[in-house]
Amino acid sequence: CIRPTPEELENFGTPDFTIYNAGQFPCNRYTHYMTSSTSIDLNLARKEMVILGTQYAGEMKKGLFSVMHYLMPKRQILSLHSGSNMGKDGDVALFFGLSGTGKTTLSTDHNRYLIGDDEHCWSETGVSNIEGGCYAKCIDLLKEKELDIYHAIKFGA
C-alpha cells in the first residue's frame, strides 16, 4: 500500500488533481444535448474534475480511477478493477469482477496479506493498491454471510 512519508505530508504543495464537488447543485440541463441534472466532467489538461447534481461520494473515487486508466498505460502500468492479496511467500493473487461480486471477500483471506479490495496498478515491479485501505460495501450486510466485514465495521474494531 502506498502511503506518504511524514516529510511528503509536511511539504505537500500543489495537488496533482483537484476535485470540485458541488453535491446536489444541478448542472444546467438546458444546455444543448444535456438530458440530466447530474454531470461528472474531467479536464485532463487542467487536472480538474467537476461533479454536479449528485451526492454519491463514489463519483470522486471512480472519476480518479478513470484518470488512472488514462495515465498509467503511458507509464507501461496496467490499472485494474480488482481485489488483491499476497501470500507469505510473496505470491500475489488478483480477483476480478464487477462491484458486489466478492472481490473484497476474497481479498481479505485470513491467511494472506491484503493489498487492496478494489483498484490496483500492475507493473514490472509488482501490484500496488491505488487507494489506501479497504472499502467494503455495507448495504444489506449480513453477519452470517460476511462475518469478517461485519465485525470490521463495528465500533472498536
Q: pLDDT for 23-52, tens place per residue?
A: 999 888 677 787 888 999 999 999 999 999
- Asked if 145 and 121 touch (Cβ cutoff 8 Å), the reply is no
- In the beta sheet, which residues pair with residue 96? 82
The domains of the chain are located at: 1-75, 80-157
- Model pTM score: 0.75
pLDDT score of 9: 86
Distances in Å between the Cα of 47 and the Cα atoms of 51, 85, 131 are: 14, 31, 18
pLDDT score of 2: 64
Q: Looking at per-residue confidence, does 95 or 141 come out higher?
A: 95
Name the percent of the chain lying above pLDDT 90: 52
Q: What is the mean pLDDT of residues 79-86?
A: 95
1-75: what CATH class?
alpha beta
Q: What is the mean pLDDT of the chain?
A: 89
* 143 pLDDT above the threshold of 90: no
The alpha carbon dihedral of 49, 50, 55, 59 has a sign of negative
- Asked if 78 and 119 touch (Cβ cutoff 8 Å), the reply is no
Confidence of residue 1 (pLDDT cuts 50, 70, 90): low
Q: Are strands 92-96 and 78-86 parallel, antiparallel or unpaired?
A: antiparallel
- In the beta sheet, which residues pair with residue 119? 81
